[in-house]
Amino acid sequence: MNSKRKAWAVMLAAYLAGVAIALNQSKVPPVMSVLMTDLHIDAATGGWLMSAFAVAGIVLGIPSALVLSRLGPKLAGMIALGCTLLGSIIGAVANTAPLLLTGRVVEGIGLGLIAVVAPAVISMWFPPEKRGTPMGIWASWVPVGSFVMYNLAGPLLKSSGWQGIWWFGAAFVLIALVIYALVVSAPPKPDTPDFQPLAADQSFGKMLLNPASWLLALVFGAFNFAFMGFATWGPTYFNQGLGLNLETASFYASLGSLAVIPSTFIAGWLLDRVRNRHLVMTVALAISGVLLFWCFQLGSADVIVPYIVGLSFVAGFVPTATFTLAPETMSNPRFAGLALGIVSMGQNVGMFFGPPIVGGLIATGNWMAGVWPLVIAAAIGVAASIALQARHARQMVLQPQ
């Protein structure tokens, strides 16, 4: 297999691994009402069923870069998939909320690792000028996983209860694990840009404090706070606030994931062809923040589809730009994994706090109360993105010609 074909084979295997883990992450929202009834939990606790998935991602964001460096992309990715497999099995046999939460945390270890390992593997196999398109495809891993789960959750729930959804997730991730083990490897050393000599100021500790990576982490954290807060409670809002049945509510929510898929592809294509990639991220996040103001006050089920599709299409540009820009926040390509680890930690912090905070605010039935934290988070993300863009512009001016 030639180098180009191998690069795309590795990318697709890493992508399948991400989809498998995202699919498992998305098991809760379509059956939130059922879980709340079956396990006797309130809305705030239900939100933690999503946020528990992010706990390990927060803890492992930066250590994931070390795991990748020490173990290599194959073993690190297999560990990620193995943790998600184990966590899904724990959840499938759980009969109490604490045990289900435990399973979600174990699954989250997989998320924390794969969010760093997979894009780092892609950056190893593709040079910066050709990275936008594969990163655009990679950026759809969460919406693709969500779309699959949102549409299978209803039939699985009817046939085998919510536990059947967890068993399906385990089977899917097992298949992804086998494919990943067979296909993924590090590129040959002469073909990778990661062997530039280190300058005196390029130690792991100093690169860990790189402001650009942390600003990008803040952007992505704010984005995930807003969109996971909405995605977790969107189906419940469509069900309780707009009167749709659970299966229809989940299908409508899944249309957002469907809209993001072409959006990330288009964003990747665009990022390979524009000079100011930061501006693409800033504009997309700003438009998304404005649209989020209506997320829990649509007024009628008739407007769900155009709203979800429009919001999700615009939002898809943000993760694509984030994954593309992350390796570039480091002055040496061998620290790309560290940059992605920092960004992943920001992502998981947002995912951790968004769902329970929104759940706590809407627990009284006041859906409008859940809108404000989402809009505020988006505004913080825009401000951080502008700051990152300004920092990048200053560095470009200071670089010797």
CA distance 109 to 101: 13
Q: Note the Cα 71 to chain centre separation in Å.
A: 23
- Contact between residue 212 and residue 109 where contact means Cβ atoms under 8 Å apart: no
Number of domains composing the chain = 1
**Nearest alpha carbon to residue 194 among 84, 65, 94:** 65
**Nearest alpha carbon to residue 163 among 53, 20, 34:** 34
Question: Is 21 a domain residue?
Answer: yes
Question: Is 191 a domain residue?
Answer: no
CA distance 391 to 400: 16
Question: Is 16 a domain residue?
Answer: yes
> Helices 246-271 & 141-183, crossing angle to 10 degrees?
70
Question: Is 136 a domain residue?
Answer: yes
CA distance 146 to 20: 10
Give DSSP secondary structure letters for 328-387: GGSSSGGGHHHHHHHHHHHHHHHHHHHHHHHHHHHTTS-GGGGHHHHHHHHHHHHHHHHH
> Helices 43-92 & 141-183, crossing angle to 10 degrees?
20
Q: Write down how long the chain is.
A: 401
Question: Is 195 a domain residue?
Answer: no
Which single residue is written with the structure tokens 């992605």? 340
Residue 274 burial (CB < 10 Å; 0-12/13-18/19+)? exposed
- Which pair of tokens denotes residue 368? 């409008």
Question: Is 40 a domain residue?
Answer: yes
Domain interval for residue 120: 3-185+203-398
pTM of the model: 0.76
Question: Is 151 a domain residue?
Answer: yes
Q: Note the Cα 2 to chain centre separation in Å.
A: 31
User: 42: helix, coil or strand?
Assistant: coil
CA distance 165 to 149: 8
Q: What is the pLDDT along the chain (401 residues), one digit of tens a residue?
A: 678 889 999 999 999 999 999 999 888 888 888 888 888 887 777 777 877 767 777 887 778 888 887 888 899 999 999 999 999 999 999 888 889 989 998 998 898 889 889 988 998 888 877 888 898 899 888 888 988 998 898 899 999 999 999 999 999 999 999 999 999 988 886 544 444 454 545 666 677 888 999 999 999 999 999 998 998 899 889 998 998 987 888 889 888 878 888 998 899 899 888 888 899 999 999 999 999 999 999 988 899 999 999 999 999 999 999 988 988 888 777 777 888 889 988 988 898 899 889 988 998 889 999 999 999 999 999 999 999 999 888 876 555 54
- Strands of 154-296, DSSP E: none
CATH number at residue 379: 1.20.1250.20
Q: How many CB atoms lie within 10 A of CB 151?
A: 18
Question: Is 197 a domain residue?
Answer: no
